[in-house]
Amino acid sequence: MSMTRKELKRDEVREGMFTAVEWLGAHGRNILIAVGALLALVVVAVLAFSIARSRGERAQEHLAEAMRVYTAPIHATAADPDHETNPTFASEEARRARARDMFAETHERYGSTTPGRIAGVYLGEIAAREGDLTRARELWEGFVAKEDRNALAATVRLNLLSLDRQEKGAAAAEESLRRALDGESAVPADVLLYELGVTLEAAGKPDDAREVFQRLVDEHPASSLVTEARARLG
């Protein structure tokens, strides 16, 4: 008896389904393991992203709180250091001590994040104000080693150059500045030239300093440092 085209098609589908079911029976465990592994990887990736994001947000919040204290007003007779949003302090020393503790906590807990490293920059500034230049250098060098493209890196490098001038003498600072001018630096060239001119003046090289200040005026006429450079030339 001849089979109709529809019956033949139905038999082909049935045969294909049987083959597929048979294959799944033989390989289903491997498929489930593969799908399970893939899902596990997706879950791990989502969790890692969520944790990293949450950690970064917490670090930012900690840094913001420390900055609020660091820039809080001084009210000798009406201090309220525990105010939730607008703390005030009786003295600069009291404010600095509280800010130091808060920056230190942020740096220690979130040092692998950018906010945690920025907290280290302010810890370095506090250390420098208190005369601990070794600690200041350690913190600032740690920042630029990890965050060289950060906009704050230029200021930190200037701080390090000032430390060189103070600790190692004008000759060492001059060498660092000339090396920065000859290579790539996060610090703008006009700032480097100005710092070099000041350093040469401190080193007792007025003619060399004038040459550098004149270079700043000629090469960077739009710089905000031109007025100061002209004053030193004059």
Helices marked H in 4-113? 5-70, 92-109
pLDDT band at 17 (very low <50, low <70, confident <90, very high): very low
Are 159 and 175 a contacting pair, CB within 8 Å? Answer: no
pLDDT band at 40 (very low <50, low <70, confident <90, very high): low
Burial tier of 56 (Cβ tally within 10 Å: 0-12, 13-18, 19+): middle
Asked if residue 189 has pLDDT above 70, the reply is: yes
pLDDT band at 218 (very low <50, low <70, confident <90, very high): very high
Query: Looking at 42-51, 92-101, 138-147, 209-218, which range is the least confident one?
Result: 42-51
Q: Identity (one letter) of the amino acid at 66?
A: A
Tokens matching residue 75: 């009210």
How many angstroms separate the Cα of 170 from the Cα of each of 84, 129, 200, 220?
46, 21, 7, 24
Residue-wise pLDDT for 107-125, tens only, equals 999 988 899 999 999 999 9
Residue-wise pLDDT for 121-144, tens only, equals 999 999 998 999 999 999 999 999
Instruction: Give bridge partners of residue 89 from the DSSP assignment.
Output: 74
pLDDT score of 90: 92
Closest CA to 115 of 105, 125, 129: 105
Are 91 and 82 a contacting pair, CB within 8 Å? Answer: no
Asked if residue 97 has pLDDT above 90, the reply is: yes
The mean pLDDT value of the chain amounts to 80
- Residue in this structure with the two tokens 């920065």, named with its chain if needed: 180
